Structures are given as structure tokens and as C-alpha cells.
């Protein structure tokens, strides 16, 4: 069974979709034709991030988990999410003024953490 929630990303546009699924089959079926990936998710992965770019210009940032994650796993995936936003928006990380990165990391973490608090 797959559970998911989609949330609008403030300021940077696009949506964040958080998925909790015991396996990747349902996730692969849902996104195989809508994403930029070349191969389906493999069962060895416990969590992953990918994007779905649509012809309309809309971007969906997807983070998927096979288990209820610990904080360090959420933080790890948040780094990938932030980097995808930076790549898509052509932003350059400024190591001396990293408030944008910190804001996004905190926001993504909070959304994912809240999603899983409701799954327990």
C-alpha cells in the first residue's frame, strides 16, 4: 500500500510529494512515464529523491521512503531535494550566505517529519 501527500513549495514553485511505500512497484508504475529517470527504482534503495518535469513547465519533487525514516535519513534526502531545486532554478550555492539552502532544508525536513508523525 502506498501513502502520499503533495504540498506546494513556497517561493520556489513546484510541488513536494512525499511517498511511503513498502516497495517500489507502485511508485515505479505511477511515475515511470512522467520522470526524468532512466531506470526504475530498485528494491535495494530505502529512500530516494527524483523529479518529474512536465511539458507545462510544472515540476514535482518526489521523495519516497520504504520505511518510517529516522532523522538522519530525512536530513540526507533533504540535501538531495535542496540540490534539485537549486539545479532547476539555476541557483548557485553561496557558502557565505547560505540562508536559502538552510530555509529549504528546514522546510523540507518539517514537511517530511510531519507526514510520518501522522503515519505512526
pLDDT at 76: 97
Distance of alpha carbon 62 from its chain centroid, rounded?
4
* CA dist., res. 61 & res. 46, Å (int): 17
Cell of 53: 518535469
pLDDT at 48: 92
Q: The pTM is what?
A: 0.91
pLDDT in tens, 71-117: 999 999 999 999 999 999 999 989 999 999 999 999 999 999 999 99
pLDDT at 71: 96
Using CA atoms, how far residue 46 sits from 51, 84, 104, 107, 113, in Å, is 17, 19, 22, 22, 16
User: Binning pLDDT at 50, 70 and 90, where does residue 120 land?
Assistant: low
For residue 59, give the H/E element and its range: strand 59-65
pLDDT at 36: 63
pLDDT in tens, 17-54: 999 998 888 888 888 776 566 667 777 688 999 998 88
Number of domains forming the structure of the chain: 1
Residue numbers of the domain that contains 88: 2-117
Amino acid at each position: 500500500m502506498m501513502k502520499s501527500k503533495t504540498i506546494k513549495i513556497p517561493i520556489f514553485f513546484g510541488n513536494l510529494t512525499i511517498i511511503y511505500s513498502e516497495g517500489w512497484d507502485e511508485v515505479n508504475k505511477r511515475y515511470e512515464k512522467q520522470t526524468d529517470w532512466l531506470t526504475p527504482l530498485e528494491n535495494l534503495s530505502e529512500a530516494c529523491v527524483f523529479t518529474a518535469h512536465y511539458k507545462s513547465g510544472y515540476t514535482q519533487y518526489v521523495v519516497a521512503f520504504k520505511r518510517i525514516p529516522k532523522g538522519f535519513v530525512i536530513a540526507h534526502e533533504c540535501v538531495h531535494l535542496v540540490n534539485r531545486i537549486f539545479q532547476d532554478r539555476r541557483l548557485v550555492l553561496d557558502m557565505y550566505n547560505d540562508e536559502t539552502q538552510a530555509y529549504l532544508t528546514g522546510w523540507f525536513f518539517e514537511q517530511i517529519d510531519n507526514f510520518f508523525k501522522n503515519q505512526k
